Amino acid sequence: MDTKILKIIEDNIDENLINEAVDKIKSGGLVAFPTETVYGLGANGFDESAAKKIFIAKGRPQDNPLILHVSSIDQVEELVMKIPEVAKKCMEKFWPGPLTILLKKSDKVSSIITAGLNTVAIRMPENKIALELIKKSNIPIAAPSANTSGRPSPTSAKHVIEDLNGKVDIIIDGGNAGIGLESTVLDLSGEIPMILRPGGITKEDLIKIIPNIEVDFAIIKEDENIVPKSPGQKYRHYAPKSEMIVYNGEVRNIVETISVKTKEYISNGKIVGIICTDETKEFYKEGIVISMGSRKDKKTIAHNLFNTLRLFDEENVDIILGEGVDFSFLGTAIMNRMMKASGGKIIEV
């Protein structure tokens, strides 16, 4: 398959180019497009054969549900049994934006999209290119992240091209994603509101609207036996090609432990990559060292995480040793992604 790259500027969208992408979606093709979180791989959400192409292109397990992207709250009505009042409040507050809401699905939503579950995940992206693509298509667009399944999620068109060139019809190059982590997934399908995946909208944000909100334990603990209600719950995700270990605790203990481990690995002939922060970078004298930003600025760390993992792939490191962050606010989402990327190898020091 020949993949076409369309360069579209978010603040000056070329109508001809966006219409070309819309036509491809409507005809059952695959279009990778930017969102404010990461790049998504889109297909017609009402076309089962098109949705199946997503799983094939990504090498994605069939039991991993997809998210339907909409451009208006009105579009949600036909996708769900009903919209609870709490869901309406969340949509009004956080849409468009990085919040995915899980509700009981209507008969119009295929089980291919929901991985056989009776719930469907829906969000309205904030990126203008994504919104225009959905609006002009006039259908919900099913879209997981636009990467090979298990790999670090794509935050630029370059990452999408690396993974999916020749496997999809169109890649829209709309610049770098802003947040850099996938959306928060909020389950409002049952009696207890539950965060299934942390993201740009934090528990601290949501608790102002939902005082009784809870967090699924799978966010911070690996469990391969879980039945995934949300993308990113079950499998090793966001993973670099090399082994990865994350150290968490007091910053001084983290630095000392990583420094000792780096010496050990290098003495055994290993190429070591170190994920650090601006406050600690100077203390590492060996290895390939990349800072994700200041510990005081978790937004920057989140934005840089997946790109950092891909940079270490380019360096062909044998092992990555990463610094953890505290779990407050966006730190929960960062640590969730680091846990998944490392296959659960988080060591307290």
At 171-191, the pLDDT tens digits run: 999 999 999 999 999 999 999
* Residue 115 shares a structural domain with residue 74: yes
269 belongs to a structural domain: yes
Q: No. of H helices and E strands in the chain? A: 10, 16
The pLDDT of residue 221: 66
Do 153 and 298 reside in the same domain of the chain?
no
- Give dist(CA 292, CA 301) in Å, integer: 5
Domain holding 81, by residue range, is 4-219
**DSSP code of 217?**
G
pTM: 0.94
Distance between CA atoms of residues 238 and 225, nearest Å: 19
57 & 119 share domain:
yes
Q: In this structure, are 205 and 249 located in the same domain?
A: no
When divided into structural domains, the chain yields a total of: 2
In this predicted model, what pLDDT tens digit does every residue of 91-142 receive, in sequence order? 999 999 999 999 999 999 999 999 999 999 999 999 999 999 999 999 999 9
Looking at the structure, do residues 133 and 266 belong to the same domain, yes or no?
no
The verdict on residue 9 lying in a domain is yes
Give pLDDT tens digits for 59-92: 999 889 999 999 999 999 999 999 999 999 999 9
Domain end residue (candidates: 219, 251, 268): 219
The whole-angstrom separation of Cα 141 and Cα 271 is: 42
72 lies in a domain?
yes
Same domain, 138 and 266: no
Are residues 18 and 140 both part of a single domain? yes
Beta strands in the chain (DSSP E): 4-7, 31-33, 40-44, 67-69, 99-104, 119-123, 141-142, 170-173, 184-187, 194-197, 214-215, 243-248, 272-276, 288-291, 319-323, 346-348
Domain boundary among 219, 254, 288: 219
Q: How far apart are CA 258 and CA 286, in angstroms?
A: 10
Residues 111 and 49 in one domain: yes
Q: What whole-number distance in Å separates Cα of residue 161 and Cα of residue 5? A: 9
In degrees rounded to 5, what are phi and psi of residue 343?
A: 65, 30
CATH of the domain at 100: 3.90.870.10
